[in-house]
Amino acid sequence: MNVDLSHLRKDFPIFERRIGDHPNHFLDSAASSQKPIQVLEAMDRFARTNYANVHRGAYRLSVEATEAYEAARRRAASFIDASSPDEVVLCRGATTALNMVAHGWGGEHLRPGDRILLTLMEHHANVVPWQMVARRTGARLDHVPLTDEYHLDLEALERMLDDDVKVVAVTGMSNVLGTIPPIDRVVEAAHSVGAVTVVDGAQLVPHLGVNVRTLGADFVAFSAHKMLGPTGIGVLWGKMERLEEMEPFEGGGEMISDVQLHHATWAAIPHRFEAGTPPIIEAVGLTAALDYLDEVGMDNVAAHDRELTAYALSRLAEIPDVTVYGPPTVEGRGGVISFTLGDVHPHDLATILDERGVSVRAGHHCAKPLMRNLGVPATARASFYLYNTLEDVDALVDGLERAAALFGT
């Protein structure tokens, strides 16, 4: 299905800006997405007319702010089809959400000899918290490998599962390879040995959406800033029975029921996981972003991604010396394309592309274990979202052809 979303570009003020003499070919949405005017205006309006701290005041502004904050929780719950808004913990972003699960669930339940299964393509946000918890608890980390075509090796996963595996934490979409593992099969296999499943949805949720009820996982984490919303807010969704098993990762105001001199008791879920003043204006931005995405339709977002990815893969294949690190076709992959051009350093590539208004990221993309496995220190990475066009891909390819000529690859 081809969908035309080009009319949406006018909603994004950043595209009025030129980069030097060139249109703004922004191809770095996997790092952070641009924001539509609807999100910017909703936050601005709220800050000007309704702002106060939440959950504290009996006065009107605070009541309104609390209602707006709790409306964001309900909105996030409906976006992912959660059974209840109480299963939605609002937090700083995917990194905080994954730390909450690793420390708050893993730290409580893991014992020496238990195993935590990750995959070789995890972002550091789904690696380092588990390393910290493994060190604390004596649990062991193992990593599911990839196939030659950069898909998750499901047979290896099944072989690695045994009764000692207590956690399987996997990305919903790799921020380097674009690989989308079949999460339903991962969850089914993990649950067959009684393991808790954690999905890093930082890339998955913005691009394909997620229905947490049909997905079946125990926890899903994602960030608003990668899905048209502001920085500083994200979601940890957990099944209620798992959240009940989790200890708060942070203590402070708002998360307590009572505090004595030597001990405290916790507020109800989800508030016990939201210590301190939460991101209030950002919550309003999250609501507006989810409204915008639902208005466009996540099926359309996914179809548009697929079209751009197929086109980019075929155009990149025309350039000799381009190596793409990721599944070769759109099957089982999303709109994140990592590549190298001969032995040109990815930072040099990014600089040359920038001179033509094309913004791509270069580096290890916070996935150093994966980069080592790929045998490269860095790649360049182009990533798409609903405001990108075929012309953006053409500008990328033109820039790469120019770099190839310059460096004589």
β-pairing, 165-171 vs 196-200, is parallel
Nearer to ligand PLP, 190 or 235 (CB): 235
Distance of CA 311 to the CA centre of its chain: 23
And the tokens for 98? 């994954």
By C-alpha distance, which of 172, 164, 275, 268 is closest to 219?
Answer: 172
CB-CB contact of 27 with 311 (8 Å): no
Distance in angstroms (rounded) separating the CA atoms of residues 332 and 357 = 30
Nearer to ligand PLP, 210 or 400 (CB): 210
And the tokens for 183? 């999460």
* Residue 311: CB atoms within 10 Å: 16
Residues between 189 and 208 with contacts to ligand PLP, criterion CB under 6 A = 200, 202-203
E strands, 73-192, are 88-91, 115-119, 140-144, 165-171
* Residue 266: CB atoms within 10 Å: 15
Residues between 71 and 100 with contacts to ligand PLP, criterion CB under 6 A = 93-95
Number of residues forming the site for ligand PLP (CB under 6 A): 15
Residues between 10 and 29 with contacts to ligand PLP, criterion CB under 6 A = none
Span of 58-66, 68-76, 103-111, 123-131 interacting with ligand PLP by CB under 6 A: 123-131
Amino acid symbol at 264: A
Is 36 strand, coil or helix? coil
In the complex, minimum distance from the CB of residue 93 to ligand PLP, in angstroms, rounded to a whole number: 4
* 91 is annotated as an active-site residue: no
Q: Which of 39, 280, 290, 366 is catalytic?
A: 366
By C-alpha distance, which of 76, 164, 174 is closest to 122?
Answer: 174
DSSP 218-284: SEEEEEGGGTTS-TT-EEEEE-HHHHHTPPPSS-STTSEEEE-SS-EEEPSTTGGG--SS--HHHHH
Q: Is position 278 an interface residue for ligand PLP (rule: CB under 6 A)?
A: no
In the complex, minimum distance from the CB of residue 223 to ligand PLP, in angstroms, rounded to a whole number: 3
Binding mask 164-193 for ligand PLP (x = CB under 6 A): -------x---x------------------
In the complex, minimum distance from the CB of residue 361 to ligand PLP, in angstroms, rounded to a whole number: 10
Q: Is position 218 an interface residue for ligand PLP (rule: CB under 6 A)?
A: no
Distance in angstroms (rounded) separating the CA atoms of residues 141 and 363 = 25
Rg (CA), the chain: 22
In the complex, minimum distance from the CB of residue 234 to ligand PLP, in angstroms, rounded to a whole number: 6
In the complex, minimum distance from the CB of residue 183 to ligand PLP, in angstroms, rounded to a whole number: 13
Q: Is position 223 an interface residue for ligand PLP (rule: CB under 6 A)?
A: yes
Q: Is position 33 an interface residue for ligand PLP (rule: CB under 6 A)?
A: no
Nearer to ligand PLP, 95 or 379 (CB): 95
Distance in angstroms (rounded) separating the CA atoms of residues 84 and 73 = 10
Q: Is position 125 an interface residue for ligand PLP (rule: CB under 6 A)?
A: yes
In the complex, minimum distance from the CB of residue 60 to ligand PLP, in angstroms, rounded to a whole number: 33
Rule CB under 6 A: choose which of 123, 306, 356, 361 binds ligand PLP: 123
b/e per residue 7-24 (b: at least 16 CB within 10 A): ebbebbeebeeeeeeebb
Nearer to ligand PLP, 289 or 395 (CB): 289
Distance of CA 382 to the CA centre of its chain: 16
In the complex, minimum distance from the CB of residue 366 to ligand PLP, in angstroms, rounded to a whole number: 6
Nearer to ligand PLP, 93 or 248 (CB): 93
And the tokens for 135? 């060190």
Cis peptide before 112 (omega within 30 of 0): no
Nearer to ligand PLP, 31 or 154 (CB): 31
In the complex, minimum distance from the CB of residue 94 to ligand PLP, in angstroms, rounded to a whole number: 4
Nearer to ligand PLP, 143 or 356 (CB): 143
Q: What are the angstrom distances between the C-alpha of 235 and each of 52, 92, 231, 255?
A: 22, 8, 12, 17
E strands, 299-363, are 322-325, 336-341, 358-359, 361-363
Nearer to ligand PLP, 137 or 223 (CB): 223
Span of 12-20, 67-75, 122-130, 262-270 interacting with ligand PLP by CB under 6 A: 122-130
Residues that bind ligand PLP (CB under 6 A): 30-31, 93-95, 123, 125-126, 171, 175, 200, 202-203, 223, 225
The set of catalytic residues is 366
